[in-house]
Chain A
Amino acid sequence: MKARESFTPDTPAGPAGPLVRIGLTYAALVALGALFSLPVVWMLSSSLHELSAVFAQPYRWLPSPLHWENYARAVTILPVPRFLLNTVIITAPVMLATVLSSALVAYGFARFRFPGRDVLFALCLATMMLPGQVTMIPLYLVFAKLGWVDTYLPLIVPSLFGSPFYIFLLRQFFLTIPPDSEEAARIDGASRLRIWWSVVLPQARPAVATVLIFTFIGTWNDFFGPLLYLNSPEKATLTLGLNLMKTQVLGSGVVEWNVLMAASLLVLAPNVILFFFAQRHFIRGISMGAGK
């Protein structure tokens, strides 16, 4: 904290130097902040206008009265509650399976010595950079052979095998836990699996939370997977359903941008809410990914 006060020692001794610098910083922040938030404010404004007002020029930013019925229309134009249920049916097991399988593998990499371990771990890291397009066609053929197309299985089953990024993230976290309590449990005769579950995982709660949150965001918002595997409209997820809605709305005379914006905001909402409650987990996960 002492360093903070002595920052910018090169500025002239007068108080004007740092003040000008602080003023310029705020000015830049406010200008950029306005640029970044304007699209969302406009989205919110459009979603509450009646249709003719959306096309009015000049545009009126404040809708009056507020047309909440756009949101009602957004959830009834296509079966959005059904899409929501479908998304939950996919997201919940994927979150659980991803965190458990990734944590098992990460513990293996963090705490066991066995021949080939370091090569395997390097391979695991390398697959993070692999473009999914190389495997998507064969996987589609395999899942089609199994009769899994138009079911949720191709979207859920792969999460049982761990995910390289989360394996890496959890391994790094496990390495920071002192092994004393694990060794004590081993002396007491506990199995390694039992130690993983009741000694290590509870200590790794912050990393587990980060993985759960990232998996939620990734699965909830996934577009490519559902686009490939879900053909029946009633099986669509929210993200896929939003695209179906786009096709329907764009294809019908005057485009109801107010309803499309309302629907988009509804799909965005869970992300934003989660983000506000768990901001530090996002930041940790992202900076850990880069810090290797």
Chain B
Amino acid sequence: MKAEHRQGWLFVSPWVIGFALLTAGPMLYSLYLSFTSASLLSPPQWLGLENYRRLAADPLFYRSLGNTTVYAAMGVPAGLLLSLGLALLLNAPVRGLGFFRTLFFLPSVTNTVALSLLWLWLLNPEFGLLNAGLRACGLAGPLWLQSEAWAKPALVLMSLWTAGGQAVIFLAALQGVPRELTEAAAIDGAGPVRRFFAITLPMISPALLFNLIMGLIGALQVFTQAFVMTGGVQPGSEGGPNQATLFIVLYIYKKAFQEFDLGYASALAWALFVLITGCSALAFRFSRERVHYESEAA
């Protein structure tokens, strides 16, 4: 029995050591740094709550918080709706769906920098495909990334193009809904809309919760697109017109690795940590009574 314990610990020890060295230790160190004046050039000096006071009065912090919130509030629900729609289509009883599944899924497994360059070109106000299409419909397209109002919608649009990953998760859940249930409801006279809301949606609610939380976490940590697409040629110019795409992670990165203000950047990182943990906890709490798990019935 003792040998069993020892061997078990030995097997999981790589992760335990990694957790201590790469996660728990750095988290504590980061918390400490957030109370100091750490920079790459000088040793950290204890500042107490100074960094957090500075954060509470920093207009750029509020700007980045607002940008991130708006991006998540637009992108997450739109992404869920689109991916659920795609999954419902892909679950229809018709032939040739494999081809379309590949088509929808492919953009979500590729390289964010390459996709960012593609979208930078698609969104080009003068020569981009998007505005060319709008012109063909007699509409004048916006300046997209060069416009304070349209920069975030442009990035949301791009994120929708990668909704296929979430659609695959919805599709797997939809395929697990027993047909007998929907058929029985149909015989009882429930129409397709009623069947969707009364049976299908509750049955796939775990997938909905998973996609909601992963979508939130992803949106709150958006970085690469903003870094690649809204930066000019000079380092430090990232953030778009009037800081419209200065998201929290981009702000943390700039503070830490362009201005080497590591103490303040650590305080910002902890603010993001609290935000993400809070949002996930809210989503879990909100879903407690609404998510249906198969195993609960057993």
Contacts and interface: CB of A to CB of B under 8 A. Distances in A.
Contact of B12 (A58, A120, A287): A120
Given A239-B111, A243-B228, A268-B114, A287 B8 contact: no
B270 A10 contact: no
A76 B172 CA distance: 44
Contacts of B100: 29, 32-33
Interface in A210-257: 217, 220-221, 223-224, 227-228, 239-240, 242-243, 246-247, 250-251, 257
8 contacts: A10-B192, A25-B89, A113-B8, A136-B269, A161-B17, A224-B224, A242-B113, A290-B210
A59 B87 CA distance: 34
B121 to A, nearest CB: 5
Contact of B23 (A10, A32, A130, A243): A130
A171 B93 CA distance: 34
A114 B6 CA distance: 8
Interface residues of B, number: 97
Given A161-B17, A271-B110, A26 B94 contact: yes
Contacts of B21: 161
Nearest to A260: B117
Given A33-B100, A39-B122, A223 B113 contact: yes
B55 to A, nearest CB: 14
A105 B207 CA distance: 26
Given A9-B187, A129-B280, A275 B14 contact: no
A129 B152 CA distance: 25
A57 B179 contact: no
Contact of B11 (A57, A105, A257): A105
B270 A134 contact: yes
Contact of A138 (B30, B106, B127, B129): B30
Given A107-B11, A133-B249, A283-B168, A158 B114 contact: no
A160 B18 contact: yes
Nearest to B11: A108
Contacts of B106: 272, 275
B272 A137 contact: no
Contacts of B249: 133
A190 to B, nearest CB: 13
Contact of B109 (A167, A228, A247, A271): A271
B109 to A, nearest CB: 6
Given A6-B183, A137-B262, A224-B224, A161 B5 contact: no
A148 interface: no
A129 B256 CA distance: 22
Given A120-B15, A137-B266, 19 more contacts: A8-B93, A32-B89, A32-B100, A54-B127, A59-B132, A109-B11, A109-B12, A114-B5, A129-B213, A141-B262, A160-B14, A217-B109, A223-B224, A223-B228, A260-B121, A263-B117, A267-B111, A267-B114, A271-B110
A264 B272 contact: no
Given A38-B129, A286-B168, A243 B113 contact: yes
B269 A137 contact: yes
A133 B114 CA distance: 23
B119 to A, nearest CB: 8
Interface string A29-41: 1001100111110
B18 A162 contact: yes
B92 interface: yes
A189 interface: no
A139 B117 contact: no
Given A29-B100, A135-B27, A291-B172, A3 B179 contact: yes
Question: Which 6 A/B pairs are nearest by Cβ-Cβ distance?
Answer: A161-B18, A108-B11, A112-B8, A287-B172, A114-B8, A108-B12
In this complex, which of A29, A124, A142, A287 has the most chain B Cβ atoms within 10 angstroms of its Cβ?
A29
Interface string B148-184: 0000000000000100110011011100000110010
B211 interface: yes
Interface string A112-153: 111101001001100101111111111111101000000000
A263 B120 CA distance: 14
A115 to B, nearest CB: 7
Contacts of A138: 25-27, 29-30, 33, 266
A134 B262 CA distance: 12
Contact of B273 (A28, A133, A228, A265): A133
B81 interface: no
Given A38-B129, A115-B5, A271-B109, A257 B121 contact: yes
A55 B128 CA distance: 9
A244 to B, nearest CB: 10
Interface string B1-44: 00011011111101111110111011101100100001010000
Interface string B85-120: 010010011100100101111110111111101110
Which interface residue of A55, A130, A138, A142 has the most chain B CB atoms within 10 A?
A: A138
A242 B94 contact: no
B121 A261 contact: yes
B186 interface: yes
B179 A7 contact: yes
A197 interface: no
A170 to B, nearest CB: 12
